[in-house]
Amino acid sequence: MQQNLTLHIHGMTCAGCEQTIRQGLEQLDGVEEVAVSVSTNDAQVAFDDSTTSLDTIARQIGRLGYRMVHAESFEGFDHTSAMTYVARLGGQAKSALTWLGARTIFCAALTLAMWLIPDRFGIDGLAICSTVVLIIGGGPMIMRAVKAFGLGSLTMDTLVSVGTLSAWGYSILAAYGRSTLGLDLARQADVFNTPYFVTVATLITIVLLGRLIEQWAQFSSQSAVRKLVGQPVAEATRIGPGGDEVVALDAVVVGDRLRVKSGQRVPLDGTVVAGSTEVDESLLTGESLPVPKTVDSRLIGGSINLAEPVEMVVTHLNHQGVLHQVVSLVLSAQRSKPPVQRLADEWSKRFVMGVFAVALLTFILWTLFAKPPQGVAAEVIALNRMVSVLMIACPCALGLATPVAVVMAISQVARQGILVKQAASLEQLVQIDTVVFDKTGTLTAGGGLDKYHIDFVMNPDLVGMTRQDALFYLGSLEQGSPHPFARLITRMAHNEANRGLVSPDEFRTVDREGIGGKVDGVNVWCGNQYLLDTVGVAIPDSLKPDGQRLSRMGRSLVYGVVDGQVVALVGIGTALRNEAADVIATLKSKGHHVVLLTGDMAEAGQAVADALGIAEVISNVAPDEKREVIKTLQDEGKRVMMLGDGLNDAVALAQADVGVAVDMTSDIAAMSSDVAFLTPKLSNVLALFTLAQRTRRVIRQNLMFAFAYNVVAIPVAAGVLVPVIGVSVNPMVAGLAMAASSIIVIFNSLKLRL
């Protein structure tokens, strides 16, 4: 049986670590797919548990020089375990930081003593202290480098290990093997300004300090996800035949009736069935103001009830809940890589090999052509230059240039209720030139039934059927449909029909057109104009003026047919969203071409377009034809963003370069999209474009700095400026520069939090 697990791994530092772990796990029989991310310190592994096991995978990770600290399957997460998982990751990251900090402090203290009082240590003491720092501070890096080399992989750890071991090994030979090399430690001091043992300890301490700051920054970048989930909810108050009872969340099932008191967190996703209140959804949706909730309102698990107690019915459990979807989507997006990062990773793989070639060439050239001071061997200067090259080179800056920026960007907008599913979408967003809006539920206000306007117009030519009769037939049929329009008609029928509604004898859905069936043995149809064409019923001339009038008001038209006659016209619509006009005006001012795409009649679409200042309207488009419209725009060379909210937009959302589901209440629409809004705020579109622009700018800055740093620093460390202006870089300065380069990249990415 195939298992899909997320493994949290300690010890990764760069893209080379990703490669080492991926190659090592792919060697195991039964491992089918491996995706490793240094930005989230985890790996997603798909394997056949009849061939290999989690223990085998954990041992392999250990053999590679890393440590698997936890494994979890997101597929089985419930509301509590999703939050527990993120909290656990935070705890593990804190533990790793604590251990790294302790090693750094120990090594720094010992190194400082070696600097301040070298005479008290003597050569033997300096050698011992240097070796202790090398083992405690550099041991894990050296082990990972050796194991990676065994797999044919070269990483940042390889560069640091070879550089420090070369310096340490030379110092040992120089101190205790003078007869072998003919060198004197005192003469080395003329070149290195301090005994080389101190240099080794200093290099290790600098690397540790750099790693500590990097890990702290990466831990900080994940804070948005930890804040997102808040505190776990372990219990719920279930309303049973015997009254209220407090039960464990695991004991709650779909359909249970729960009571949520003032100040409590909503335990699971559900619908309000009694009472009214206001809730705080800020952590999940970014909505800073309390959100009013009444009967039929949706409640999101993890939000906080701020006012009166309410009763709710549970609609989603386990991995179906909004909170789980948010956490899993955010973490998945953080693991993904945009195309530019894949190129950087490929370059960094070759980079380390290139650095070794440059370091070796540097040693050879300085050995052959150096003109050392009197009494100083050329090999000493050559080794100095070689170690400087190894220490100053930094593939980590290149490997971290994009991942940290992506983690920051995606986690920050998640707190605003914007879920970006793939990092590649951030790159595509900056290329968008055409924005296509669906009308109903996107530009017009969706939400609860109370937000809709409904006009019920009877056919004036009809004889023998009253309004109450028509509502009975149409309302009884619409009971079988979950569509909001169906619920509106059903509610009106419950209130106005002259008899109780009945279940339809037959019920069928006509794709993209409406529904049909039999009520009390009578054929009943309810749908749009396409449905009338399908069943061969014409629109009465007496209803056409009302249809035109309602269309000009922006209403969607639904026709009711009973026993072969159009009995009523229903106009349904909502007011335009308050921010719609401002959002569209802003998009146009930034050079985006805006298109309104709707399945409604031309008059309804044009009415909305005129109100919002949209020049291009494409009306009367069936759901499956929306995809063709998007494709036509793309064939014209346009990069298209599509915004929609419902099932009939799903195919078009998938076709668009960037598909945005403005409301995650439609699971299929959300699944088909690249971006999903937890709440349908159109202003999120502007925030999305701003995020994409800022993220691209930060990534470009990071990559340009990483490339420029290595292009300039490596030749300088190799000594190209020595013959010209006499400037050289000793290994300690090289180590500081290497650590600083990664830190600069990370802190530049952290400004995305602002």
Please identify every residue annotated as catalytic. 438
Amino acid, res. 358: V
Q: Who contacts 289 (Cβ-Cβ below 8 Å, separation ≥6)?
A: none
Cβ–Cβ under 8 Å, residues 373 and 381: no
Checking phi first, is residue 264 left (phi over 0); if not, alpha (psi -120 to 50) or beta? beta
Q: Among 407, 402, 388, 398, which residue's Cα sits nearest to residue 349?
A: 398
Q: Distance from CA of residue 180 to its chain's centroid? A: 58
Q: Among 443, 427, 407, which residue's Cα sits nearest to residue 332?
A: 407
Cβ–Cβ under 8 Å, residues 374 and 188: no
Q: Please give the structure tokens belonging to residue 349.
A: 């793989």
Q: Among 399, 384, 326, which residue's Cα sits nearest to residue 710?
A: 399
d(CA 512, CA 489): 18
Q: Please give the structure tokens belonging to residue 520.
A: 């009390």
d(CA 744, CA 332): 26
DSSP code of 576? B
Three-state SS across 205-237?
HHHHHHHHHHHHHHHHHCHHHHHHHCCCCCEEE
Q: Among 284, 285, 89, 224, which residue's Cα sits nearest to residue 753?
A: 224
Cβ–Cβ under 8 Å, residues 57 and 68: yes
Q: Distance from CA of residue 526 to its chain's centroid? A: 41
Q: Among 217, 349, 222, which residue's Cα sits nearest to residue 744?
A: 217
* C-alpha to C-alpha distances, 510 to 476, 486, 534, nearest whole angstrom: 17, 14, 9
Amino acid, res. 526: C
Under DSSP, is residue 681 helix (H, G, I), strand (E, B) or coil? coil
How many CB atoms within 10 Å of residue 182?
10
Q: Exposed (0-12), middle (13-18) or buried (19+): which is 221, by Cβ within 10 Å?
A: buried
d(CA 735, CA 752): 28
Give the residue carrying structure tokens 């791994």: 9
